[in-house]
Amino acid sequence: MISNHSGKHHRKFPIRGNPSQQEAIRHFRGPCEVIAGPGSGKTFVLVERILYLLLEERVPPSQILVLTFSKAAALQMQSRFQKRIRELSLSADPPSPDSLSADSFTEVTFGTFHSIFLSILKASSVQRMGILDNSRSRKLLSSLFERYYERLPQSEELTDLSALIAKAKASGEIPDQKRFQRLLEDYETYLKENSLLDFEDMIGRCLKLLRRNPELLSSWQKRYRYFLIDEFQDINREQFEGIQLLAGAAANLFVVGDDDQSIYRFRGADVRLIIDFPDYYPGTHVIHLNINYRSYAPIVRCGQQVICKNRMRLSKEAIAARQLPDPHAVSIVSSGPAFQNFLPDGVCVKLSSYETEKAEYLHLCEVFRKMTSEQRQSCAVIVRSHSQMQGLLRILEQEKISYRLQQGGPSGSGKNHKNSRLLQKAGELLSLIRSYYTVSEALSRGTILRRDLFAVMNHPERFLLRSRFQKERYSTDELLSLCPRGSGEQKALWMLCRDLRTMERLSTVHSLRYLSRVIGIGEEEKKIWERLFVLSASYTGIPELRLMLERLSPEELWDTETEDSGGETDGVLVLTMHASKGLEFDTVYLPDLNEGIFPGRRAVSMEAIEEERRLFYVAITRARDRLHLMYLRGNRNNPRRPSRFLEPLGVKTWE
């Protein structure tokens, strides 16, 4: 029988929060599922429970594993945890004052699912492995698509191709399509040659490793005994199976999430896992955090009216802790585009219709002009997708309205760390430039060594496979004959040889400038290249340039004293609904809420429609004080249908 509670009298650690939060914090052993609605304090509960395990139950820090779905979320959670420790240590009567410091609990592990699975694989393998990230994956798939389908892919085709590969690898069922089979073979060969794992490989290999090696599994089960999982609604089946293996029979799983905020179905997330969690672990302690401390009551009601239309969800209520300051204020207003003012006090939710997209965006511009800098910094325009964002950004630029785009990942961690990283980048770039000039010289003499070719052929990424090259040295003609005539690979090799010859014919400065365009100049590398251009100006020929490059050090390329940090603008933040997850703003604008955009035309099945509705719910619940819902009504000649998701709010749609 699994015990859910420790039964101890809690004296040492001060338990804070409302009754449901305290109940979750005090949970000790066995499975516990916390259904945490928007603004209900789930991060607070997770941090407090970690401290409760450490200070009250005396759990060793090294036995606690906190899992999130992004590196940024893991770092944020760790930062909140360390801040809370400092608060406790400075209090008048700190618990366990002899050992309460951030350094005391550094062995608590904060990480992502992928980082943990990768660490298990790396600890069990002598082979160095890297991860094929999303950006590199799309470039690889684009190259392979062009190679086998002889045209450039659309963005949606890349998404479909990625999903098809993932499904084929997970199920082992490969479609009976010759071109796809050859594409998949080249995809796998590229990963193998470059010691890369995609996410399907990482999780799949880790599961196989743990299942066939009981001793290894036992060692990891002994290492981690208490699991805290944030955003559990985003988990997929393989991740869940991995956690089940690691948790073992003890099942000390503390999972926190909200089925109504499950928005990553396209990545494999399965909302049924959070809904059915008590079926996997009978006796699960289920706790509901249903008090929303973020949004005013009308915004909370608005979100509930929308999401309650979904069938696949847990029944729950939402209570707003924040009521309107004026009980007689109008909470929901519907108006046309003539309403020009910034949402006034007392108006929490506003519905507006517009004849055209341009009129809608111009109205937003007029609103932003009337805002103070502080108001602009505390509001956001949240759109369905990046493609939808482009029209809005064009109007903002035309109207000279400053804006910010949501940047991924956490902010920088200090000037010294950044300079150290950039110094390393300077060294890597210098090494690559030297290699290019070594190969260009070899080509001018008629042959290229295979090891030198390998150093440059996929920098930038040309997706050339090492397995094509079996000999130690090649002439140009031999290189080009290795790949099928007219193929993308042959074209890439031909362009590489052309670039190498061009570098040899130009003057020193022009040769380096040409190479910079071949390799590509990132924002952080501009100063490095500029320094190189200055240094090369005093040399008259390529042989002298080669000698200079050999003698040059990374420190000479990167002057840390001239590095400036830059700053953020006070522009309006524009971001997608997926990117808005986990954020909150005083005022939120949701434009283009129309059929065909939201839900999109590709959302046909009930599961897809309900996922889109959950996405709308996430966007609504980002608002603290004011929410502006906007849609196009069109005109007599070109009528536009409002999103079906607005029907519960009183907006009539037409068939």
N-term to C-term CA, the chain:
55
Task: Supply the mean pLDDT for the chain.
Answer: 84
Q: Is the pLDDT of residue 216 over 70?
A: yes
Helix (H, G, I), strand (E, B) or coil at 276: coil
Look up residue 458 and give its DSSP letter.
T
For residue 237, which of 205, 259, 269, 208 has the smallest C-alpha distance?
A: 269
| Rounded Cα distance, 469 and 451, in Å | 10
| Rounded Cα distance, 377 and 403, in Å | 10
| Rounded Cα distance, 285 and 30, in Å | 8
In the prediction, which pLDDT does 628 show? 96
133-148: per-residue pLDDT in tens?
Answer: 777 888 888 888 888 8
> pLDDT higher for 74 or 255?
255
28-55: per-residue pLDDT in tens?
Answer: 999 999 999 999 999 999 999 999 999 9
Q: What's the angle, vertex CA 98, arms to CA 93 and CA 99, rounded to 5?
A: 110
| Rounded Cα distance, 493 and 476, in Å | 9
In the prediction, which pLDDT does 618 show? 97
> pLDDT higher for 191 or 325?
191
In the prediction, which pLDDT does 149 show? 81
Q: Which two tokens stand for residue 530?
A: 């500029």
> pLDDT higher for 310 or 474?
310
For residue 557, which of 521, 538, 587, 533 has the smallest C-alpha distance?
A: 533
Phi-psi region of 346 (alpha: psi -120 to 50; beta: other; left: phi over 0): left
In the prediction, which pLDDT does 569 show? 57
The answer to whether 619 touches 577, Cβ cutoff 8 Å, is yes
| Rounded Cα distance, 347 and 167, in Å | 47
| Rounded Cα distance, 97 and 504, in Å | 68
Confidence of residue 336 (pLDDT cuts 50, 70, 90): very low
Q: Is the pLDDT of residue 323 over 50?
A: yes
For residue 453, which of 109, 464, 444 has the smallest C-alpha distance?
A: 464
In the prediction, which pLDDT does 334 show? 55
Helix (H, G, I), strand (E, B) or coil at 56: coil
The answer to whether 55 touches 96, Cβ cutoff 8 Å, is yes
Average pLDDT of the segment spanning 634-651: 92
Classify domain 19-126+203-289 by CATH number. Answer: 3.40.50.300
Report the length, in residues, of the chain.
655
| Rounded Cα distance, 526 and 516, in Å | 10
Same fold: 19-126+203-289 with 308-402+570-649: yes
The answer to whether 618 touches 581, Cβ cutoff 8 Å, is yes
Look up residue 560 and give its DSSP letter.
G
CA distances from 594 to 308, 310, 474, 631 (A): 20, 19, 59, 6
For residue 263, which of 600, 631, 619, 630 has the smallest C-alpha distance?
A: 619
The answer to whether 291 touches 266, Cβ cutoff 8 Å, is no
Single-letter residue type at 538: S
| Rounded Cα distance, 464 and 475, in Å | 17
Top-confidence range, 197-206, 315-324, 475-484, 585-594: 585-594
Look up residue 463 and give its DSSP letter.
-
| Rounded Cα distance, 26 and 5, in Å | 8
| Rounded Cα distance, 526 and 425, in Å | 12
CA distances from 35 to 21, 125, 230, 255, 313 (A): 11, 38, 11, 9, 11
In what helix (H) or strand (E) does residue 277 lie, and over which residues does it extend?
A: helix 277-280
| Rounded Cα distance, 92 and 26, in Å | 23
For residue 233, which of 615, 513, 570, 568 has the smallest C-alpha distance?
A: 615
Look up residue 251 and give its DSSP letter.
-
361-410: per-residue pLDDT in tens?
Answer: 999 999 999 999 889 999 999 999 877 887 898 899 889 898 888 754 32
In the prediction, which pLDDT does 3 show? 41
Which superfamily, per CATH, for 308-402+570-649?
P-loop containing nucleotide triphosphate hydrolases (3.40.50.300)
565-568's contacts with Cβ under 8 Å and 24+ in sequence apart are: 565/412, 565/415, 568/404
Single-letter residue type at 12: K
Average pLDDT of the segment spanning 173-177: 74
Domain boundaries, the chain: 19-126+203-289, 130-194, 308-402+570-649, 415-556
In the prediction, which pLDDT does 43 show? 95
Torsion of CA 343, 567, 39, 109, to 10 degrees: 170
In the prediction, which pLDDT does 151 show? 76
* DSSP-derived secondary structure for 297-323: HHHHHHHHHHHTT-SSS-----EEEEP
| Rounded Cα distance, 322 and 625, in Å | 9
Confidence of residue 611 (pLDDT cuts 50, 70, 90): very high
Look up residue 410 and give its DSSP letter.
P
508-561: per-residue pLDDT in tens?
Answer: 888 898 999 898 887 777 778 887 887 787 777 888 888 788 777 776 666 544
Q: Which residues pair with 634 in a beta bridge?
A: 639
Look up residue 646 and give its DSSP letter.
G
